[in-house]
Amino acid sequence: MFELKTFGLFFATALAEILGCYLPYLWLKQDKSIWLLIPAAISLSVFVWLLTLHPVASGRAYAAYGGVYIFTALCWLWAVDGIKPNQWDLLGGFLALLGMAVIMFAPRYA
């Protein structure tokens, strides 16, 4: 159960970060409303708060989070950008998740 909760929290964290970066992208690159910066700032604030909820040392949480971020970004690529990840994207995403699992769930002796 701990593993599922950890992955879910990392996934929510990644979505908050990606959304917080995507909204300014829309404003800057697609000439959308500057008002998108308000929800972007809120989303990035939620991202920072979510990172504080992990019960491990901050450096370990940040390192492991990177793996889930990669996986989530590939999901975003497919769902939002409409580009299906290829086999190399999927392999890289799997390896990133494997790295996250090693960092977060390996036995700790000290």
pLDDT tens digit sequence for 22-38: 999 999 999 999 999 99
Q: What is the pLDDT of residues 60-93, one digit of tens each?
A: 888 999 999 999 999 999 999 999 999 999 999 9
**pTM (2 decimals)?**
0.87
Is the distance from CB of 40 to CB of 33 less than 8 angstroms? no
Burial (Cβ within 10 Å: 0-12, 13-18, ≥19) of residue 33: exposed
Q: How far is residue 94 from each of residues 67, 71, 84, 86, 90, measured CA to CA in Å?
A: 9, 7, 15, 12, 6
